[in-house]
Structures are given as structure tokens and as C-alpha cells.
Amino acid sequence: MNQFWGCLIISSKELQTNGQIRDRQVRVIGPTGNQLGIMSSAQALQKAMEMNLDLVKIAP
């Protein structure tokens, strides 16, 4: 495993964030790990913006 400044690097691939996510629907998980449900990407992005967070696609 690679380490950089004491942090474990899990993946070096680029993740899609915010407007880069083109999926019609996404499963949304909140900042504490609670499931917020399946919603459109637009709804998910709006929810993330309301929470002052980024929407990040972690699995295809």
C-alpha cells in the first residue's frame, strides 16, 4: 500500500464529483453514513449543496 504524508492512499483513480456525475439516479449516503435513499442526480446534488458538501461517485 502507498502512503503519503502519513495518510493511506486507497485509490489513485479520479472520482466523479458534483456536475461530472451523469447517472440518472444515484443512491445517496449522508455524511454520517445514513442512507438518504435513491434519487435523481440533480436532487442528490441539491441535497449535497444544502449540506455544504460535494457529491462524490464512489461506485459505478
Structurally, at CATH architecture level, domain 15-60 sits in Roll (3.10)
Determine the pLDDT at residue 14. Answer: 83
Helices marked H in the chain — which ranges? 41-50
**pLDDT truncated to tens, each residue of the chain (60 aa)?**
455 556 666 666 788 889 999 999 999 999 999 999 999 999 999 999 999 999 999 887
Domain spans of the chain?
15-60
Determine the pLDDT at residue 12. Answer: 61
- Tell me if 55 sits within 8 A of 44, measured CB to CB: yes
Determine the pLDDT at residue 52. Answer: 94
- Tell me if 54 sits within 8 A of 18, measured CB to CB: yes
Determine the pLDDT at residue 15. Answer: 86
